[in-house]
């Protein structure tokens, strides 16, 4: 027979042989020294540490229970025997201390399993309640039935420990253990019968409930003893039978029958005396205790030979195992050197490939670069054996990874190109639709209701344009809209609100004057629009979304706060992580498309976006635009040379009592169309001491047929220069000056300068600054000429003509800006 050379044996064969020998060795040892050996060797430990001290504790508990029943049955004699009861309680406490120390000892805890540990803990917890039971008895707060039930509960917890100790591997020993436990439980039932009878005899009477309970206990103990006798070993069964044949046992059975079936009426005196019952019952219980202990000792004696056999098998397994281990070591030393050397080399090369070369090549391939794979990632060569085959498998993985990376990169580029082309074509169609809408809006014969519908369609088209630009962002492209010169922050916010649904709920509270760099205006508008739309979508329709902007040390901060549903802490942290690391976020893991777009736009320009919990329960999005993208003047020149950023921080925030601005309904939905020379916002100058804050009131939709909102006349001139967007009009809140009523005649006025009640009369524009005052305050009231007013048709025609004129002026201003902005790209092929 030809012996096969060890060098030709495969690595798999060597490893299988080595593992098979070690597995067989330790499997045999585990079989010999496994659960059976530990279980049987632990019988003596559990018997000495738990069973024996617990048996003493049970005897004392049963004695204390009987003496307590006697004391409750005859309180007069109980006072004379109080010393005996106290002595018995002390004996119980002494055995309890011993049981607690042994049952929780280190070696017993190591032998015991989890179930036994739990039963011991429950038993000790029940024993802690003895003090409360004794206190109730001494205070006279308990009757015999309730106190007996409390003692029974404590004792039952002790017997549950026996049930956990009966889980032995040897069938014969396990059967005898269960029989011994059955004997112990039968003795406990007899002890309960004894305590009940002692209490009844001490009281001198037996109720119907007590007689029924007594009969139940008698039947139970006789049934349990009968079952145990059938399962006991021959020697133990004979010992128990001898006890049953004693005159004491017969006398006890006779007294049980007399108590269950009294010869006279139920109200007659009991036929059994307390002294005689105590003498007989105590003797029988002690004899039964001896039988139970003898049965337990026999079980322990029978377990010792089994444990000795376990030790013998353990020694045999150790000898055979030693021989097998020596052979395995010799074989391993001779074969492992070459295997380990090759594996170490393979590991080094594979790690270098996986951690350095392959990622670099995949990255370059993903970017579309031309890569020479043979030079950048050369194949691994480790021979023709099994380790060499592993190296070839690594080479195959490398080639597959590079091929997949190249294919995926090309697929992503193709998808991005197609997506970008489709988006741009869609944008062209939307822009054409907007142009058609502008032309229809400029018609002179259009009705007001039709004009309002056109404005609504215009707004929907503007939102469609933003969603199309979302596709460009996801494709990595840039929208075609752009501006060369800085645009006012107010116009940027207006343009964002013009691109969202339900814009009427958006409220611009405070917006410090600043101008955004022209080339980022489109992306900033898009970013604001996504955040505002998320805030509107996830908040109740009866709430508002507040927008606040101010200069800060690192740029310009805009806070968008809603009062909606909010997010959990985990979801909020995850969203902020994806906003800060958009390259790690994918559309498959990003449930909110708007936040994905926000992250891409923010990363493109270095804008910081942070989400946080709002005090109102919703979310607050803080957008921090870097200083290099924000200007303090419309020209954007000299921001940092002639005036430091810190100098303007104090002048950027209006006073607390300043009016809150809220945007009204849009008349166009095309985003900001700033004029050539934006003017600073009203209130941009440094302010005096803060005044009490006046809370803004919610606004209704102006298109819903409500009365026209009053306009602050002295603001029109300063705001009109940059109010060319779709959200141009400013509204006045209650509590702020409205149109003057100086031309209305007073009715029953008092003296000059006072009202009818003698109070000072208010003079319009008295407290306004001099440059803001108009001559209307000092002009005398004009008398009513009595001429009839214009008809409703004439008023409607006049307002429509005025509206068309203002629209035409805004369109001309927008075209001037469009001529100076970057032209939008044409449709892609």
Domain boundaries, the chain: 49-165, 172-325, 482-686+709-734+799-829
Common-topology check for domains 172-325 and 482-686+709-734+799-829: no
Contact call for residues 702 and 709 (beta carbons, < 8 A): yes
Please calculate the CA angle 622-627-630 and round it to the nearest 5 degrees.
90
Residue given tokens 């489109």 in the structure block: 522
Query: Architecture of domain 172-325 in CATH?
Result: Up-down Bundle (1.20)
- ∠ CA 239-243-246, nearest 5°, is 140
**pLDDT at residue number 550:** 94
Whether residue 520 contacts residue 489, with contact meaning beta carbons closer than 8 Å, is answered with: no
Give long-range contacts, CB 8 A cutoff, 24+ apart: 656-659: 656/690, 656/691, 656/692, 656/693, 657/690, 657/691, 657/692, 657/693, 657/694, 658/510, 658/683, 658/687, 659/694, 659/732, 659/733, 659/736
CA angle 227, 228, 230 (to 5 degrees): 70
Helix 171-203 crosses helix 208-231 at what angle (to 10 degrees)?
A: 160
CB 476 within 8 A of CB 415: no
Q: Read off the DSSP letter of residue 745.
A: P
Q: Please, is 321 exposed, middle or buried when counting C-beta atoms within 10 Å of its C-beta (0-12, 13-18, 19+)?
A: middle
d(CA 37, CA 499): 79
CATH of 482-686+709-734+799-829, one of 3.30.365.10, 3.30.70.270, 3.30.565.10, 3.50.50.60: 3.30.565.10
Express each pLDDT in 233-284 by its tens digit: 888 888 888 888 899 989 999 998 888 887 766 566 788 888 899 899 989 9
pLDDT at 384: 74
Nearest-angstrom CA–CA distance, 390 and 556: 58
Radius of gyration of the chain (CA): 49
Q: Kindly state the tokens that stand for 285.
A: 């219980």
pLDDT digits (tens, 9 = 90+) for 373-395: 667 667 777 777 777 788 788 78
545 by DSSP, 3-state: which? strand
Determine the angle formed by the axes of helices 274-352 and 52-73, rounding to 10 degrees: 140
Rounded Cα–Cα distance for residues 822 and 803 (Å): 29
Q: Which pLDDT does position 672 carry in this prediction? A: 41
Q: What gap in Å lies between CA 493 and CA 726, rounded to an integer?
A: 11
Helices 130-139 and 144-165: crossing angle, nearest 10°?
160
Q: How far is CA 446 from CA 135, 260, 459, 804, in A?
A: 98, 110, 18, 10
**Nearest-angstrom CA–CA distance, 812 and 218:** 111
Q: Tell me, what's the pLDDT at 41?
A: 59
Q: How far, in Å, CA of 665 to CA of 645, rounded?
A: 35
The values of phi and psi at residue 560, to 5°, are -115, 110
Taking the CB of residue 648, how many other CB atoms lie within 10 A of it? 18
Question: What is the model's pTM?
Answer: 0.41
Phi, psi at 104, each rounded to 5°: -105, 15
Q: Which residues, other chains included, contact 260 with Cβ-Cβ below 8 Å and sequence gap of 6+?
A: 211, 214, 215, 218
H or E stretch including 613?
A: strand 608-613
DSSP structural state of residue 636: -
- Strand, coil or helix: 701: coil
Which of 218, 310, 206, 203 shows the shortest CA–CA distance to 256? 218
Q: What is the pLDDT of residues 397-453, one digit of tens each?
A: 877 877 777 777 777 777 778 877 887 887 788 888 888 888 888 887 778 888 888
How many degrees, rounded to 5, is the angle at CA 664 between CA 663 and CA 669?
95
CA–CA separation, 92 vs 614, rounded Å? 64
Q: How far apart are CA 512 and CA 683, in angstroms?
A: 9
Element (H, E) at 609: strand 608-613
Q: What is the bridge-based pairing of β-strands 515-516 and 630-631?
A: antiparallel
3-state secondary structure of 621: strand
Query: Which of 725, 733, 726, 595 has the alpha carbon at shortest distance from 661?
Result: 733
In angstroms, the CA 525 to CA 399 distance is 45
Spans of the chain, pLDDT less than 50: 1-3, 638, 640-643, 652-752, 756-757, 767-772, 774-787, 822-829
Residue 453 near residue 667, CB atoms below 8 Å: no
Collect all residues with Cβ–Cβ distance below 8 Å to 208 and sequence separation of at least 6: 266
- How many CB atoms sit inside 10 A of residue 554's CB? 12
| 78 vs 223: CA distance, rounded Å | 34
Torsion from C-alpha of 219, 223, 226, 232, nearest 10 degrees: -130
> In 3D, which of 734, 727, 807, 706 has the Cα closest to residue 503?
727
């Amino acid at each position: 027979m030809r012996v096969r050379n060890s060098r030709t044996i495969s690595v798999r064969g060597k490893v299988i042989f080595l593992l098979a020998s070690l597995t067989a060795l330790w499997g045999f040892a585990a079989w010999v020294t496994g659960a059976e050996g530990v279980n049987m060797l632990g019988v003596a430990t559990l018997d000495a540490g738990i069973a024996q001290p617990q048996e003493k504790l049970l005897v004392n508990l049963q004695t204390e229970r009987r003496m307590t029943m006697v004391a409750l049955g005859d309180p007069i004699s109980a006072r004379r025997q109080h010393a005996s009861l106290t002595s018995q309680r002390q004996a119980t406490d002494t055995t309890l201390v011993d049981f607690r120390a042994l049952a929780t000892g280190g070696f017993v805890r190591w032998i015991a399993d989890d179930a036994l540990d739990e039963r011991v803990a429950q038993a000790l917890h029940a024993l802690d309640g003895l003090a409360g039971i004794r206190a109730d008895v001494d205070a006279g707060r308990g009757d015999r039935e309730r106190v007996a039930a409390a003692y029974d509960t404590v004792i039952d917890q002790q017997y549950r420990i026996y049930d956990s100790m009966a889980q032995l591997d040897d069938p014969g020993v396990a059967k005898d253990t269960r029989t011994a436990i059955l004997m112990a439980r039968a003795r406990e039932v007899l002890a309960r019968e004894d305590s009940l009878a002692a209490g009844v005899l001490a009281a001198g009477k037996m109720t119907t409930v007590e007689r029924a309970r007594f009969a139940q206990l008698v039947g139970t103990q006789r049934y349990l003893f009968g079952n145990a006798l059938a399962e006991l070993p021959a020697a133990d069964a004979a010992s128990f039978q001898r006890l049953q044949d004693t005159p004491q046992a017969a006398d006890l059975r006779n007294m049980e029958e007399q108590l269950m079936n009294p010869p006279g009426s139920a109200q007659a005196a009991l036929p059994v005396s307390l002294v005689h019952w105590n003498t007989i019952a105590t003797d029988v219980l002690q004899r039964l205790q001896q039988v139970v202990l003898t049965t337990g000792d026999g079980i322990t004696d029978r377990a010792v030979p089994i444990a000795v056999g376990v030790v013998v098998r353990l020694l045999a397994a150790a000898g055979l195992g030693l021989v097998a281990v020596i052979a395995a070591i010799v074989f391993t030393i001779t074969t492992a050197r070459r295997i380990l050397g090759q594996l170490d080399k393979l590991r080094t090369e594979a790690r270098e490939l996986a951690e350095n070369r392959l990622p670099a090549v995949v990255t370059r391939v993903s970017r579309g670069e031309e890569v020479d794979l043979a030079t950048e990632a050369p194949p691994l060569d480790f021979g023709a054996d099994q380790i060499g085959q592993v190296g070839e498998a690594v080479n195959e993985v490398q080639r597959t990874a590079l091929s997949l990376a190249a294919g995926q990169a090309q697929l992503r580029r193709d998808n991005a190109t197609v997506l970008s082309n489709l988006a741009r074509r869609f944008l062209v169609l939307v822009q054409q639709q907007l142009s058609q809408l502008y032309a229809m809006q400029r018609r002179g014969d259009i009705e007001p209701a039709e004009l309002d519908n056109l404005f609504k369609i215009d707004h929907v088209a503007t939102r469609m344009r933003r969603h199309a630009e979302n596709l460009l962002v996801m494709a990595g492209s840039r929208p075609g809209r752009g501006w060369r010169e800085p645009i006012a922050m107010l116009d940027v916010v207006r343009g964002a609100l013009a691109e969202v649904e339900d814009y009427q709920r958006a409220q611009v509270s405070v917006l410090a004057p600043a101008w955004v760099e022209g080339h980022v205006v489109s992306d900033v508008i898009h970013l604001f629009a996504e955040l505002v739309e998320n805030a509107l979508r996830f908040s109740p329709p009866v709430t508002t979304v507040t927008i606040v902007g101010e200069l800060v040390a690192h740029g310009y901060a805009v806070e968008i706060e809603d009062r909606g549903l909010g997010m959990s802490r985990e979801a909020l942290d995850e969203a902020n992580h994806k906003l800060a690391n958009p390259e790690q976020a994918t559309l498959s893991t990003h449930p909110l498309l708007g936040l994905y777009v926000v992250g891409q736009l923010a990363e493109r320009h270095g804008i910081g976006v942070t989400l946080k919990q709002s005090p109102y329960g919703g979310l607050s999005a803080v957008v921090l635009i870097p200083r290099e993208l924000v200007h303090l003047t419309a020209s954007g020149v000299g921001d940092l040379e002639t005036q430091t950023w810190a100098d303007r921080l104090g002048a950027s925030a209006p006073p607390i009592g300043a009016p809150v601005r809220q945007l009204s309904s849009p008349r166009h939905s095309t985003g900001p169309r700033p004029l050539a020379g934006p003017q600073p916002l009203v209130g941009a100058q440094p302010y005096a001491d803060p005044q009490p804050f006046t809370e803004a009131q919610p606004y209704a939709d102006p298109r819903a047929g409500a009365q026209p909102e009053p306009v602050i006349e002295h603001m029109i001139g300063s705001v009109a220069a940059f109010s060319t967007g779709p959200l141009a009009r400013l509204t006045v809140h209650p509590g702020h000056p409205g149109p003057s009523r100086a031309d209305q005649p007073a009715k029953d006025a008092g003296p000059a300068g006072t009202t009818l009640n003698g109070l000072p009369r208010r003079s319009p524009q008295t407290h306004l600054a001099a440059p803001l005052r108009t001559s209307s305050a000092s002009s005398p009231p004009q008398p009513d000429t009595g001429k009839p007013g214009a008809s409703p048709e004439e008023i409607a025609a006049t307002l429509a003509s005025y509206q068309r004129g203002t629209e035409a002026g805004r369109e001309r201003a927008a075209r001037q800006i469009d001529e100076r902005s970057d032209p939008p790209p044409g449709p892609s092929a």
